[in-house]
């Protein structure tokens, strides 16, 4: 962790346990309370760490990630939108949209009991749409992303591209998606159906699952269960590149791919949301760690 004071303060007071500083050389809101510690980058409104008291970090962050303006951080919880992947028509050159590539502005910070609630918003000079991201950080974690269409209609795709830290992705068991339809992006979005029992990954995985159910990751190697409960979503994306694809990714060490699994609440593909000018949609997710 590389933390130092930042030059600017937000235009509102920060509660006890919250300060504006730097992480990895970029501005960040830093949380340290009896309930949890966390690091929230202003670039991309990107949460890169949440450690509830007595636990290890929920999130995986690549040691080879780039940081700074216009960079897509590898790990944590990237905010994806206003399109997913190459977009519904597969024509977008910038993968996963631009929300994660702009610097957001602090818009609020308060203590609510033992929790810290932080709110960031897109800058005023972003006119195609506006967005707010709200993070509740305590014994549990909640993230909510609200996107409002600008002067034109918006066919919104969005996701919370969470990298969950696991002991070994080859040994975890995922439950909550049993029997759901999915599109397999490792086979050109071929339709298929999830197994009827808890699922173990055996190779490169990129599934867009038609499910809004809670998902549990049983991580026996780390002696914990990670529970993800989505809201306002249509799909759940499960992703891990496995060994061969990871070797072609400059920001993931060749041997690091077993350390994470992405479980992503999303509105994507045929689950997009059509917004008229000025209309909004929110997607969110809550996490808890169970022993």
Cα separation values, 60 from 37, 57, 64, 123, 261, Å: 15, 7, 12, 28, 9
What percentage of the chain carries pLDDT values higher than 90? 87
Predicted structure pTM score? 0.94
* Residue 209 contacts residue 238 (beta carbons within 8 Å): yes
* Residue 272 contacts residue 232 (beta carbons within 8 Å): no
Give the three-class secondary structure for 179: coil
Q: What is the average pLDDT score of the chain?
A: 94
Tokens of residue 245, six digits: 């694809």
Place of tokens 């086979």: 187
* Residue 163 contacts residue 76 (beta carbons within 8 Å): yes
Tens digits of per-residue pLDDT, 124-176? Answer: 988 899 999 999 999 999 999 999 999 999 999 999 999 999 999 999 999 99
Is residue 6 scored above 50 in pLDDT?
A: no
């Amino acid at each position: 962790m590389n933390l130092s004071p930042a030059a600017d303060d937000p235009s509102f007071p920060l509660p006890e346990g919250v300060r504006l500083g730097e992480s990895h050389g970029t501005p960040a809101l830093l949380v340290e309370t009896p309930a949890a510690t966390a690091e929230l980058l202003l670039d991309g409104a990107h949460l890169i760490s949440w450690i509830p008291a007595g636990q290890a970090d929920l999130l995986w962050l690549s040691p080879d990630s780039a940081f700074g303006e216009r960079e897509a951080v590898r790990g944590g919880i990237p905010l994806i939108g206003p399109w997913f992947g190459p977009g519904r028509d597969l024509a977008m050159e910038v993968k996963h949209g631009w929300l994660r590539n702009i610097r957001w502005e602090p818009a609020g910070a308060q203590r609510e009991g033992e929790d810290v609630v932080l709110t960031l918003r897109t800058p005023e000079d972003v006119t195609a749409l506006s967005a707010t991201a709200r993070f509740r950080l305590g014994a549990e974690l909640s993230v909510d992303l609200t996107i409002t269409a600008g002067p034109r209609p918006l066919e919104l795709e969005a996701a919370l591209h969470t990298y969950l830290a696991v002991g070994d992705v080859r040994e975890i068991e995922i439950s909550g998606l049993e029997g759901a339809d999915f599109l397999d992006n490792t086979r050109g979005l071929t339709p298929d159906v999830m197994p009827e029992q808890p699922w173990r990954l055996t190779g490169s995985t990129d599934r867009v699952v038609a499910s809004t159910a809670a998902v549990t990751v049983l991580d026996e190697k780390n002696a914990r269960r990670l529970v993800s409960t989505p809201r306002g979503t249509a799909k759940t994306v499960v992703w891990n590149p496995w060994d061969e694809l990871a070797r072609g990714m400059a920001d993931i060490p060749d041997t690091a791919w077993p350390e994470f699994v992405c479980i992503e609440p999303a509105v994507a593909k045929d689950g997009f949301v059509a917004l008229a000018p000025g209309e909004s949609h929110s997607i969110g997710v809550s996490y808890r760690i169970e022993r």
